[in-house]
Chains A and B, each alone.
Chain A
Amino acid sequence: MNKKSYFHEFTKGIIKENPVLCLVLGTCPTLAVTTSASNAIGMGIAATLVLVCSNAVISMLRKVIPDKVRIPAYITIIAGFVTIVQMLVKAFSPSINDALGIYLPLIVVNCIILGRAEMYASKNKVIPSILDGLGMGIGFTAALLCMGIIRELFGCGTIFGISIMPVKILIFILPPGGFFVFGMLIALANKLNSKKGKKAADSPCSGCPMKSSCSKSESNAATDCATNGTSDKLNAGTADNESKSKGAIKC
């Protein structure tokens, strides 16, 4: 791999495949912690750290981890790094720890991290995986920061605590404001993408690592044909289904 493609691995996550605005992954922290710009940065950095470390380790172990148990193995690795980050944040920045609260340990179930592990780190060498994690993490942080600035500016009239506007629209800080700003940002991303002739993000599922079993469950429930055969397949782990429909979800 030459320098140019390394650079590509790094930059693709920032704009072209932005995990939040284009792949619509990790919506929970995106909506929950973006009430202020500084919280958004704290969350972004914490998630980036976990993403880089877990990508590196998973990529190193990609030949060791058996295929059948890889999802539990990934979750364990990710949970280990989340615990480390949690302890670091608690020690060095207690105020961020209080502001992020429950959402800091919930990085474990953030689909960006599991998604990158599944789609990238498990198939690529260590250095590209680290660059991919770093790029995705920066893209995540940038999107969070963007939302945090908008919500803080309209909701409190400040940015990073510095007063800018005298008008405050409290609703932007409250949960409905989170949904609204996120919807508008995705609409903007869709508009920009459609100018370039790219397909817009239409569902939160397209980038989700659990997508295949999810769509399966949807069609199963719809036609009510949850026969033993299909359930068995699901039982064997989402792993098999995922690898089968990987071509379809590739994004």
Chain B
Amino acid sequence: MLIKSLAAVFLAAILTENYVLSKFLGICPFLGVSKKLNTAVGMSVAVTFVMVISTAVTFPIYTYLLVPHDLGYLQTIVFILIIAGLVQLVEVVLKRYIPSLYKSLGVYLPLITTNCAILGVTMLVLQKVDSTTLYNYTYIHAIVNSLGAGIGFLVAMVMFAGVRQKMENCDIPKSLKGLPITLVAASLTALSFLGFSGFVDKLIPLS
């Protein structure tokens, strides 16, 4: 049952609740860094990395520190500071111990602090703890959910980078050039993800 529910959470985070294309979180990097495939992949891996780590840290802090002391309203300010600190810490640690990883991800890390997908994931995960009645939503679910969210971001970025490369040589009306046509393409990509709605519930029935 645990594995089944974890798989459902993971797939739902990638396909049906894709953070970019259905929740509109992390649109800035989605539109800004998706021109080339390698930068798109680098950015998404860095985002996934930070998402998982920050959920792993903020979840226990919220449940065991803020809630018991009636400080739930400090969530926003505490989380953004934790994320900002964590990004710095990850940067220092990577640089010191895993320089090869730092070389490929390091350049993206400073940008991630103000990426709304990270703060969004850490908060949405906690909302799910309150609202999910179907199964016991635990710490592991939260981690798997944020991993799925990161992978979903990666999938959307890679798909979209492909779409944009195809668009490079197209003849586009003058006022649609640049950002507008990119947004229309994003709209079509989002439309394709609508096709997944209900998919996970059918695939892995939980009840």
Residues of chain A whose beta carbon lies under 8 Å from any beta carbon of chain B: 24, 27-28, 31-32, 72, 75-76, 79-80, 82-83, 86-87, 102, 105-106, 108-111, 114, 171, 174-180, 182-184, 186-188, 190-191, 194, 200-205, 208-210, 213-214, 216-218, 220-222, 226, 230-231, 234-235, 237-238
Contacts of A208 in B (CB 8 A): 28, 32
Given contacts A79-B77, A188-B175, A190-B176, 7 further A-B contacts (CB under 8 A): A24-B179, A82-B77, A102-B127, A208-B28, A210-B110, A218-B36, A221-B36
Given contacts A102-B123, A200-B175, A201-B178, contact A175 B110 (CB under 8 A): no
Instruction: Please name 14 pairs of A and B residues whose Cβ atoms are closer than 8 Å in the assembled complex, sorted by A.
Output: A31-B27, A32-B24, A79-B77, A102-B123, A106-B25, A108-B80, A114-B114, A171-B191, A175-B193, A176-B190, A203-B179, A204-B179, A205-B28, A221-B104
A83 to B80, CA, bound (A): 12
Residues of A contacting B175 with CB < 8 Å? 187-188, 190-191, 194, 200
In the complex the two chains form, is B116's CB within 8 Å of A221's CB?
no
Check A183–B107 contact: CB distance below 8 A.
Answer: no
Residue interface mask B90-115, A partner, CB < 8 A = 1:
01000100000011101110110111
Q: Is B119 among interface residues, defined by CB-CB distance under 8 A?
A: yes
Residues on A with C-beta less than 8 A from B25 are 28, 32, 106
Rounded to whole Å, the gap between the CB of A196 and the closest CB of chain B is: 13
Q: Which of A24, A86, A180 contacts B184 (CB 8 A)?
A: A180
- Determine which of A76, A105, A177, A194 lies in contact with B119 in the assembled complex, contact meaning CB atoms within 8 Å: A105
Chain A residue contacts of B23, Cβ below 8 A:
32
B182 x A183 contact (CB < 8 A): yes
Q: A221-B42, A237-B110 are in contact. Are A183 and B184 (CB under 8 A)?
A: yes
Specify which chain A residues have a CB less than 8 angstroms from the CB of B186 in the assembled complex. 179, 183
Q: Select from chain A the residue with minimum beta-carbon distance to B91.
A: A235
> In terms of DSSP, what is the predominant structure of the interface of chain A?
helix
| B81 interface residue (CB < 8 Å to A) | yes
Q: How large is the interface on B (under 10, 10 to 19, 20 to 34, 35 or more residues)?
A: 35 or more
B33 is an interface residue with CB less than 8 A from chain A: yes
Write out the residue numbers on chain A whose beta carbons fall within 8 Å of the beta carbon of B119.
Answer: 105-106, 108-109
- Chain A residue numbers with a CB within 8 Å of B43 are 217
Residue ID in chain A nearest B36 by CB atoms? A222
Interface bits B1-28 vs A (CB < 8 Å: 1, else 0): 0000000000000000000011111111
